[in-house]
A and B are shown apart, each in its own frame.
Chain A
Amino acid sequence: MVIVFIRAIILYSMIIFAVRLMGKKQLGQLQPSELVITILVSNIATLPIEDTSLPMLMGIIPILVLVCLDVIMSGATLKWHKLRRIVSGSPKIIIKDGKIDQNQMRILRFTIDDIMESLHSYNIFDISEVQFAVVETTGQISVYQKFRYQNVTNEQMDFNKSEQDPPYVVIDDGVIINDSLDCLGINEEWVKKIIKEKGLEVKEVFLLTVSPDRKYKIIEKDKTLS
């Protein structure tokens, strides 16, 4: 039992290392090769945990080999476009000018439900509103609406306002975040001063957000929860 416990800890650390090595992309949408790696790694990792007659190296070596190959392959696909096409495929146009390409749907084995589901996520319920829809290499559908159905933008309305960053979190559960102070160009004294004006201390503040134009919002800690 102790062996299984130690093995589980080692393999857990190994997989964390492996996933970190693969980068953030792995944690979001999966490319076909990444999906394969994820399935294989999770499967291989369980083998030495369950079967103590298997040396740990039998788990570690294949995991590292798979991850390294995947990273090297993704590096190679950056250089060679053709290889990228082979490994990841290419985006396919599935709707053009409101018309579904049924042949492409058949090739991609997409059902009308798959397409409608994706359109609904863009708040589109009528295919004729779609100018262009592309099935990305991750399998996600990206949609470009026809001009007359697109939302009006501030630019089109000619609303002119200088660009501004959103508010920063300056106090998170009673702790001042120094990175936010640096970004906003303010100091702790200024923060303490505005809190004092409300009759509070830093440790009593649950959330403080400050926008670049120094507008702030304070949420006090719920004292009944402590």
Chain B
Amino acid sequence: MKRVKLCSVILMILIIITIGTLFMIRKKCTELKDLAGQTLILYENKNTEEALKKAEELNQTWDKHYKFFHCSVKNDKLYNINSEIAKIKPLIENNDDQVISELNSLIYELDFLSNNETPHIYNII
């Protein structure tokens, strides 16, 4: 019965870890999506300087969260996000409108990542 109790405790810890990780992923994705959204609005309003600051903030936030994502999500899901975030700053600096599609694509990727980790019937089955 000692083993059963030990396993029950481990299972509870695993449940807490997995649910905790899910919430962390969603929270971090929302944070990154908000930053990408704000950068997009600022760029569309021709506020390049502020957009650059937001892009820098987005970069730093991504760098901060990257290790967490690396440990909890299949890495190939992160490659696209990584390359899109790296492109944003130079595109804003060059006033290249391609940044709009890159930011939209980044928001979509983050949304996709967050949704993919959330258990739904379709991704469980």
Known: A64-B10, A64-B14. A71 touches B4 (CB 8 A): yes
A72/B8 in contact, CB under 8 A: yes
Cβ-defined partner of B70 (8 Å) among A55, A61, A65, A71: A55
A55/B14 in contact, CB under 8 A: no
B10/A58 in contact, CB under 8 A: no
Query: Which residues in A have their C-beta under 8 angstroms from that of B7?
Result: 21, 67-69, 71-72, 75
Query: Which residues in B have their C-beta under 8 angstroms from that of A56?
Result: 71
CA distance A199 to B11 in the complex (A): 60
At the interface, yes or no: A16 with Cβ under 8 Å from chain B?
no
Q: How large, as a class, is the contact surface on chain B?
A: 10 to 19
Of residues 38 to 70 in A, which have CB atoms within 8 Å of B's CB atoms? 52-58, 61, 64-65, 67-69
Query: Which residues in B have their C-beta under 8 angstroms from that of A72?
Result: 4, 7-8, 11
At the interface, yes or no: A89 with Cβ under 8 Å from chain B?
no
CA distance A57 to B72 in the complex (A): 7
A65/B11 in contact, CB under 8 A: yes
Main DSSP-derived SS at the B contact region = helix
Known: A68-B11, A68-B14, A72-B11. A55 touches B4 (CB 8 A): no
Stretch from B30-38, B45-53, B73-81 that touches the partner = B73-81
At the interface, yes or no: B17 with Cβ under 8 Å from chain A?
yes
At the interface, yes or no: B125 with Cβ under 8 Å from chain A?
no
Cβ-defined partner of A68 (8 Å) among B10, B17, B73: B10
